[in-house]
Amino acid sequence: MSKQTITLTVNGAELVFEPTTQAYNKYINELTMDDKVAPAHNYLNRIVATDGKDALAKLLAMPGAGLKLAAKVNEAFIPELEISVKN
C-alpha cells in the first residue's frame, strides 16, 4: 500500500502530512472531554513531513490552528462511507 500524502497550503506555507491509520487511531484515543488541543498538536507533529516541522510549529502557536489543521487533514484522509440501517 502506498503512503498517502496530504498537502495543505496555510498562510503561504506548504505543509505535507503523511497520515496513517495507526496515527489517526492514536489521535482519537488521546482525545478527552478536557483535552483536545494537545492531542491535535501531537497528531500533526507525528504526521508532518520533516521539512514542514518548523512551519507547523509557528502555525500551532496560533489559537485554534491545531484543531483546524487536524480537521482538514482528517477530512481528506478518512474515507466517505455510505451507511444505511436495515431493520
Q: Is 32 within a domain?
A: yes
Amino acid at 79: P
Establish how many alpha carbons lie within 13 A of residue 8's alpha carbon, considering only the half-sphere containing its beta carbon: 24
List C-alpha distances in Å: 86 to 80, 81, 82, 83. 19, 16, 13, 10
Written as nine digits, the cell of 24 is: 489517526
Domain tally, the chain: 1
User: Distance between CA 79 and CA 86 in Å, rounded?
Assistant: 22
Predicted confidence (pLDDT) per residue in 63-73, tens digit: 999 999 999 99
| Residue 1 is assigned to a structural domain of this protein | no
Give the pLDDT confidence of 37-67 residue by residue, as tens digits: 999 999 999 999 999 999 999 999 999 999 9
Residue 83 domain flag: no
Residue 60 lies in a domain: yes
Does a structural domain hold residue 87? no
Report yes or no on 36 lying in a domain. yes
Domain that holds residue 51: 6-77
* 20 inside domain: yes
The answer to whether residue 82 is domain-embedded is: no
State pTM to two decimals. Answer: 0.91
